[in-house]
């Protein structure tokens, strides 16, 4: 029997390593859950090889250290999976309750309140504790039932609010919640030599781990799809819908009222397509896009608005109008210096229309019309130019 507990303990510690390797989000409750399982099973193993009652009771305390806090970590994992934000007072309250229960469970050998009496039996080749339960032993049962009710309530609430990905995940969560309490109750009514909880703890941990990882992958996939839906497939910049939405949000909220919108148009793109082919035109657009990425900060909103048109929104510009004009002229020169097609010595130029956000431009369309009007004037004044809306 000691060998079985030893194998289970080794598996428990291996699961800690797997958790550290696999969980990219480094969820502390997931790790602590597996550590609790390992401590509980290590305690079972040490009890099975205990040479004395004192050793066995100390091992029992170690096991209870894992067992008492395991429901707490399971609860925190369920709240994470179910996307329920716990109130700030919940953690300290649950930790305090858990500590009190642990002190009661660790009292055998000191006070006769959890076990009235305790002795060891080694007649079957391994050590087991023969105990008579004390007046406070039922506190642990109440503690477990409290957590089961709380965990089931969290899962049911998440299902009702449609915060769980699928019914299969809900079944796994229900199984994880009911597994330990079912085994614990069964052990109270049926005689046994083996602590089935040592196995059920591992199964519970694996259920939670499985659902957590599946949901993390699902969320990552959803995020990637959302990211792709917001991006222009050719340049990787924000697409027209996304850039308009972001700028509109900033203007409506008032955060963008000290900002500047730039509408940038690639000069003569149609002529480039007609003369050199659409592949060269695509290369020209991507080269301009790369140049704009380098020219502006990651905090600036940058997107492709149309076939040959880009939009940049600077939330704040520290310098004045002259400094901005100087910066934009430098960008135009950088773009004009790019070689698009080596064999044809092809270069491209751009024109820029600039409009400052004001109280009158609390909508994207209003500000865009001003910047676009300035762009129109720049295009008709010789191109490769930057003009401000007056």
SS (H, E, C) the chain: CHHHHHHHHHHHHHHHHHHHHHCCCCCHHHHHHHHHHHHHHHHHHHHHCCCCHHHHHHHHHHHHHHHHHHHHHHHHHHHHHCCCCCCCCHHHHHHHHHHHHHHHHCCCCCCCCCEEEEEEECCCCCCEEEEEECCCCHHHHHHHHHHHHHHHHHHHHHHHCCCCCCHHHHHHHHHHHHHHHHHHHHHHHCCCCCCCHHHHHHHHHHHHHHHHHHHHHHHHHHHHHHHHHHECCCCCCECHHHHHHHHHHHHHHCCCCCCEEEEEEECCHHHHHHHHCHHHHHHHHHHHHHHHHHHCCCCCEEEECCCCEEEEEECCCCCCHHHHHHHHHHHHHHHHCCEEEHHHCEECCEEEEEEECCCCCCCHHHHHHHHHHHHHHHHCCCCCCEEECC
d(CA 383, CA 349): 8
Q: Find the domain containing 268 and state its range.
A: 240-388
Is the model's pLDDT at 343 over the cut of 60? Answer: no
What is the model's pLDDT at position 186?
Answer: 66
Is the model's pLDDT at 371 over the cut of 90? Answer: yes
Give the bridge partners for 231, in sequence order: 238
What is the model's pLDDT at position 1?
Answer: 78
Is the model's pLDDT at 128 over the cut of 70? Answer: yes
Residues 224 and 301 in one domain: no
Q: How confident is the model at residue 342 (pLDDT cuts 50, 70, 90)?
A: low
Residues 57 and 149 in one domain: yes
What is the model's pLDDT at position 101?
Answer: 96
pLDDT tens digits, 11-45: 999 999 999 999 988 999 999 999 999 999 999 99
Residues 27 and 105 in one domain: yes
Residues 173 and 213 in one domain: yes
Whether 235 maps to a domain, the answer reads no
Three-state SS for 315?
coil
| Domain end (from 180, 200, 229) | 229
Residues 205 and 136 in one domain: yes
Average pLDDT estimate for 282-305: 90
**Percentage, residues of the chain above pLDDT 70:** 95
* Tokens representing residue 331 in the block: 């960008």
Residues 62 and 197 in one domain: yes
Residue in this structure with the two tokens 């109750």, named with its chain if needed: 185
pLDDT tens digits, 131-141: 999 999 999 98
Residues 6+ apart with CB under 8 A from 195: 5, 44, 187
Average pLDDT estimate for 66-91: 92
Residues 256 and 188 in one domain: no
What is the model's pLDDT at position 115?
Answer: 94
Residues 34 and 120 in one domain: yes
Whether 151 maps to a domain, the answer reads yes
Whether 327 maps to a domain, the answer reads yes
What is the model's pLDDT at position 256?
Answer: 81
| Domain end (from 197, 229, 261) | 229
What is the model's pLDDT at position 235?
Answer: 87
Number of domains present in the structure of the chain: 2
Is the model's pLDDT at 312 over the cut of 60? Answer: yes
pLDDT tens digits, 241-288: 999 999 999 898 888 888 899 999 999 888 888 888 888 888 889 989
Whether 120 maps to a domain, the answer reads yes
pLDDT tens digits, 160-210: 888 776 777 777 777 777 776 777 666 656 556 677 778 888 888 888 888
Burial (CB < 10 A; 0-12, 13-18, 19+), residue 6, is: middle
Whether 33 maps to a domain, the answer reads yes
Burial (CB < 10 A; 0-12, 13-18, 19+), residue 309, is: middle
* Tokens representing residue 110 in the block: 């000191």
Residues 198 and 246 in one domain: no
d(CA 289, CA 107): 70
Crossing angle for the helix pair 90-105 and 138-160, to the nearest 10 degrees? 150
| Domain end (from 229, 254, 276) | 229
Whether 234 maps to a domain, the answer reads no
What is the model's pLDDT at position 188?
Answer: 59
Residues 279 and 306 in one domain: yes
What's 381's domain CATH number?
Answer: 3.30.70.270
d(CA 66, CA 40): 5
d(CA 209, CA 215): 10
Which candidate, 248, 228, 224, 225, places its Cα nearest to that of 238?
A: 228
Instruction: Count the Cβ atoms, other than its own, within 10 Å of residue 297.
Output: 8
Whether 52 maps to a domain, the answer reads yes
Is the model's pLDDT at 315 over the cut of 60? Answer: yes
Whether 98 maps to a domain, the answer reads yes
**Percentage, residues of the chain above pLDDT 90:** 47
Residues 246 and 188 in one domain: no
Instruction: Count the Cβ atoms, other than its own, within 10 Å of residue 14.
Output: 12
Residues 119 and 72 in one domain: yes
């Amino acid at each position: 029997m000691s060998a079985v507990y030893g194998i289970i303990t080794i598996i428990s510690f291996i699961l800690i390593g797997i958790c550290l390797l696999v969980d990219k989000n480094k969820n502390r409750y997931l790790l602590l859950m597996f550590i609790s399982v390992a401590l509980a099973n290590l305690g079972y193993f040490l009890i099975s090889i205990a040479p004395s009652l004192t050793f066995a009771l100390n091992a029992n305390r170690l096991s209870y250290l894992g067992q008492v806090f395991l429901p707490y970590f399971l609860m925190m994992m369920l709240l994470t999976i179910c996307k329920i934000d716990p109130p700030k007072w919940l953690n300290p309250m649950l930790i305090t309750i858990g500590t009190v229960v642990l002190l009661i469970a660790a009292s055998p050998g000191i006070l006769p309140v959890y076990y009235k009496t305790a002795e060891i039996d080694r007649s079957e080749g391994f050590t087991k504790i023969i105990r008579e339960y004390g007046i406070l032993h039922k506190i642990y049962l109440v503690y477990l039932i409290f957590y089961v009710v709380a965990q089931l309530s969290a899962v049911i609430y998440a299902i009702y609010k449609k915060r769980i990905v699928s019914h299969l995940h809900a079944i796994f969560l229900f199984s994880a919640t009911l597994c330990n309490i079912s085994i614990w109750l069964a052990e109270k009514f049926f005689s046994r030599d083996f602590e089935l909880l040592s196995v059920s703890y591992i199964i519970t941990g694996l259920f939670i781990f499985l659902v957590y990882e599946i949901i993390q992958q699902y969320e990552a996939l959803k995020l990637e799809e959302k990211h792709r839906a917001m991006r222009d497939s050719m340049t990787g910049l924000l697409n027209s819908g996304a850039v308009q939405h972001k700028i509109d949000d900033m203007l409506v909220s008032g955060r963008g009222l000290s900002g500047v919108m730039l509408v940038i148009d690639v000069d003569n793109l149609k002529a480039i397509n007609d003369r050199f082919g659409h592949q060269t035109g695509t290369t020209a657009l991507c080269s301009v896009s790369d140049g704009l990425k380098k020219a502006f900060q990651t905090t600036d909103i940058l997107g492709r608005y149309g076939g040959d048109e880009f939009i940049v929104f600077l939330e704040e510009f520290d310098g004045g109008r002259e400094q901005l004009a100087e910066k934009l002229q430098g960008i135009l020169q950088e773009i004009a210096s790019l070689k698009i097609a080596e064999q044809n010595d092809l270069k491209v130029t751009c024109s820029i229309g600039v409009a400052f956000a004001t109280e009158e431009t609390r909508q994207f369309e209003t500000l865009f019309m001003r910047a676009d009007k300035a762009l129109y004037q720049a295009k008709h004044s010789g191109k490769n130019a930057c003009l401000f809306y007056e």
